[in-house]
């Protein structure tokens, strides 16, 4: 029976944040004072980017690939999986389904973050304590 064995993900997440941080740290060690704030900001951004989980990176990638195939619906729909497989012909059905799950998690996180911002924006102002 074929097709039910362990399949590797077709999307490989490459992380170079550690290498970039090393280069930035070396540059920071020899940088003049006027360049230091920019290099420090670059190091902070690199650390932030390096902390993003692989599943989130795969989900973002899957959402972009779905969009490139013209798909705008929910990430876990059959049409979403089809759009992924259209955009990336080498994906197996299982891989596309797993990527659509990652994409759904990213989309839900984005909706939850937006909902939190909306709720905070609707909150009445605190009364002045004076």
Outline where DSSP puts E strands in 15-104.
Answer: none
Mean pLDDT, the chain, rounded, equals: 84
Give the pLDDT of residue 1. 41
For residues 109 and 63, membership in a common domain is answered with: yes
Same domain assignment for residues 72 and 86 = yes
Based on the fold, state whether residues 103 and 66 are members of the same structural domain.
Answer: yes
Residues 39 and 90 in one domain: no
Residues 47, 58, single domain; the answer is no
- What angle, 0 to 180 degrees and rounded to 10, lies between the N-to-C axes of helices 17-30 and 36-50? 170
- Are residues 27 and 61 part of one domain? no
Query: pTM for this structure?
Result: 0.69
Residue 127 domain flag: no
In this predicted model, what pLDDT tens digit does every residue of 18-77 receive, in sequence order?
Answer: 899 999 999 999 999 999 999 999 999 999 988 899 999 999 999 999 999 999 999 999
* Whether residue 68 is found in the same domain as residue 111: yes
Domain assignment of residue 34, given as a range = 17-51
How many separate domains does the chain show?
A: 2
């Amino acid at each position: 029976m074929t097709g039910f064995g362990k399949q590797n993900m077709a999307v490989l997440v490459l992380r170079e944040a550690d290498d970039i941080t090393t280069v930035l740290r070396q540059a920071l060690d020899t940088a003049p004072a006027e360049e230091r704030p920019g290099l420090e900001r670059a190091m902070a951004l690199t650390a932030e980017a390096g902390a993003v989980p692989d599943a989130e990176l795969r989900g973002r990638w899957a959402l972009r690939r779905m969009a490139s195939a013209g798909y705008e619906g929910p990430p876990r729909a059959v049409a979403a999986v089809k759009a992924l497989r259209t955009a990336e012909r080498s994906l197996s059905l299982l891989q596309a389904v797993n990527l659509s799950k990652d994409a759904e998690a990213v989309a839900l996180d984005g909706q939850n973050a937006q909902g939190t911002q909306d709720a905070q924006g609707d909150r009445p102002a605190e009364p002045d304590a004076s």
